[in-house]
A and B are shown apart, each in its own frame.
Chain A
Amino acid sequence: MNITFHINGSSQTVAIADENTPLLWVVRDLLNLKGTKFGCGKAACGACTLHVDGEAVRSCSYAIKFAEGKHVTTIEGLGTKESPHPVQQAWIAEIVPQCGYCQPGFMMATAALLEKIPNPTDEDIDRNIINVCRCATYYRMRKAIHRAAELNAANVEPESENS
C-alpha cells in the first residue's frame, strides 16, 4: 500500500507492505533520515521522538498508516546548519551532548514543549521531558531548555504599545 505524508516540508509517498510498520523505520531505512534514533523500541526512552502535526510522538510506536496526510518533522527539519532552531542553538551553546545518541529525541521533545509552554519552569521540564540519557546530561539539558526559551522569546517581536 502507498502512504503519502509531508516530511520536513516535502510531500513523500512510500510503498509499504505492512501498514503497521513503525514510522521510525520508514524515516530511517526508507527515507534515509538517520537523525532520529532507535533506542528501546518500546516507546520508553524517547530517542525516536519526532513531531507529527506539531505533537511530539514516539516514532517507534507510531504505525506508518497513521501518518497518512500528516506533517512529520524530524531533527533534520527542525533547523538548518545556517539557521539552527533556538533549541539547537541552545544545545550547542550549553555543550549538552556527551555521546549524543539520545540528543535528537531530547531536542524534538524540547521544541514541542516550547510550542506549548514558551517559558517552562523546572517542574514543566520534569513533567514533559521524560526521555532517557545514559550519559546523564540532564543538568546541561535543563540549562539548555531555559536558554532556548530565552532565545525564542528574543526572536519574538515585542508587541507595540499602540497595537
Chain B
Amino acid sequence: MKTKLALLFPLFLGAVIISATTNTPTTSNYMEVSPSEDMELTSEEAFDKMMDVLTHQRCVNCHPSDNIPKQGDDSHPHYFGIERGEENLGYQATNCATCHQAENNPYSGVPGAPEWSLAPHTMRWEGLSRIEIAESMMDPERNGGRTPEETLHHLTEHELVLWAWKPGVDANGQSQELPPVSKEDYIAAVKKWFEAGHVIPTE
C-alpha cells in the first residue's frame, strides 16, 4: 500500500502543477483602470470630493464676498489696499498685471497664471456653504451665463483653476498649500458629478 502511495504522489503533484500553470491568470485577464477610476464614486461622494477643493483657500481667495482679494493660506486681505476695481482686474494704473504675470514668478514669489483676475462679484463664494456654492456655480444668473458644459470646462480645464495645484512659493519662498484632493481625482470627481446629473444634495 505504501509503495502504491509513493508512486501515486509524484503523479498527483505533477497534475497539480500543470493545473496551476494553465489556470494562472495573466495581465490580459484583467481590465486595466486608471488610478482615478479605481473607485466608482457615487454622485454624493463625487460632490463632496469636488467641494473639498472648491472650498479650499486656493479657490475661495479669488471668489471673495467683498471686493478684496485674499492671499495666502490664511486668506488675509490682499496687501497694499488692492481691490476688485471695475473689471475685476484692479485699478486703472495699478492692476493685477502690474505684479502678476502668466506664470508664477520664482524670484519674487508672486503667483501668476493666464487670465489672472478676481472672480466677478456674482460668483462670490466666501462664507457660503458647499450647497450654496454649488447652487451659485450652476446658476446662469450668477455663473456668468455658463451652461453646465461650460461650467464643467471651467472647473476641469481652465488654466487659472488648475493653477491651484501649482501655486508656487509665497513671498518667503515657502510652498503654498495644495488642495486636499489630487488634481486627477478632483477632475474625475467633477466629471462624475456632472455625468450623474449635477444633483446638489439637500441640507
Whether a CB of chain A sits under 8 angstroms from the CB of B34 is no
Which residue on B lies nearest to A111, using beta carbons? B93
Task: Point out which of A42, A44, A109, A117 has the most chain B C-beta atoms below 10 A from its C-beta.
Answer: A42
Whether a CB of chain B sits under 8 angstroms from the CB of A61 is yes
Stretch at the interface among B1-9, B105-113, B154-162, B188-196: B105-113
Q: In the assembled complex, which residues on chain B have CB atoms less than 8 Å from the CB atom of A42?
A: 108-110, 171
Q: Is B107 in contact with A41, judged by CB distance below 8 angstroms?
A: yes
Whether a CB of chain B sits under 8 angstroms from the CB of A94 is no
Q: Is A56 in contact with B105, judged by CB distance below 8 angstroms?
A: no
Q: In the assembled complex, which residues on chain B have CB atoms less than 8 Å from the CB atom of A127?
A: 81, 83, 91, 94
Q: In the assembled complex, which residues on chain B have CB atoms less than 8 Å from the CB atom of A116?
A: 92-93
Q: In the assembled complex, which residues on chain B have CB atoms less than 8 Å from the CB atom of A21?
A: 107
Whether a CB of chain B sits under 8 angstroms from the CB of A20 is yes
Q: In the assembled complex, which residues on chain A have CB atoms less than 8 Å from the CB atom of B82?
A: 130
Which residue on B lies nearest to A65, using beta carbons? B103
Q: Enumerate A31-81 residues with CB–CB distance to B below 8 Å.
A: 41-44, 55-58, 60-63, 66
Q: Is B94 in contact with A109, judged by CB distance below 8 angstroms?
A: yes
Cα A21 to Cα B98 with chains together (Å): 17
Q: In the assembled complex, which residues on chain A have CB atoms less than 8 Å from the CB atom of B79?
A: 44
Which residue on A lies nearest to B101, using beta carbons? A66
Minimum distance in angstroms from B170 CB to a CB of chain A: 9
Q: Is B93 in contact with A117, judged by CB distance below 8 angstroms?
A: yes
Q: In the assembled complex, which residues on chain B have CB atoms less than 8 Å from the CB atom of A44?
A: 79-80, 171
Whether a CB of chain B sits under 8 angstroms from the CB of A141 is no
Q: In the assembled complex, which residues on chain B have CB atoms less than 8 Å from the CB atom of A129?
A: 93-94
Q: In the assembled complex, which residues on chain B have CB atoms less than 8 Å from the CB atom of A55?
A: 97-98
* Per-residue A-contact encoding for B105-141, CB less than 8 Å = 1, 0 else: 1111110000000000000000000000000000000
Q: In the assembled complex, which residues on chain B have CB atoms less than 8 Å from the CB atom of A22?
A: 105, 107-108
Cα A42 to Cα B99 with chains together (Å): 9
Contact of A109 among B93, B101, B103 (CB under 8 A): B93
Minimum distance in angstroms from B93 CB to a CB of chain A: 4
Whether a CB of chain A sits under 8 angstroms from the CB of B41 is no
Q: Enumerate A95-125 residues with CB–CB distance to B below 8 Å.
A: 109, 112-113, 115-117, 124
Q: In the assembled complex, which residues on chain A have CB atoms less than 8 Å from the CB atom of B94?
A: 56, 109, 113, 127-130
Q: In the assembled complex, which residues on chain A have CB atoms less than 8 Å from the CB atom of B81?
A: 126-127, 130
Minimum distance in angstroms from B167 CB to a CB of chain A: 15
Q: Is B99 in contact with A58, judged by CB distance below 8 angstroms?
A: yes
Contact of B93 among A43, A56, A61, A62 (CB under 8 A): A56
Q: In the assembled complex, which residues on chain B have CB atoms less than 8 Å from the CB atom of A112?
A: 93
Residues of A within 8 A of B (CB): 20-22, 41-44, 55-58, 60-63, 66, 109, 112-113, 115-117, 124, 126-130
Q: For the A-B complex with A62-B101, A127-B81 known, give 4 more contacts whose Cβ atoms are closer than 8 Å.
A: A42-B110, A61-B105, A109-B93, A130-B81
Q: Give 8 closest A-B pairs by Cβ, nearest first.
A: A61-B108, A116-B92, A113-B93, A43-B99, A128-B93, A130-B80, A61-B110, A128-B94
| 11 chain-A/chain-B pairs, Cβ below 8 angstroms | A20-B105, A20-B106, A22-B105, A42-B171, A43-B99, A56-B94, A60-B107, A113-B92, A127-B81, A128-B92, A128-B94
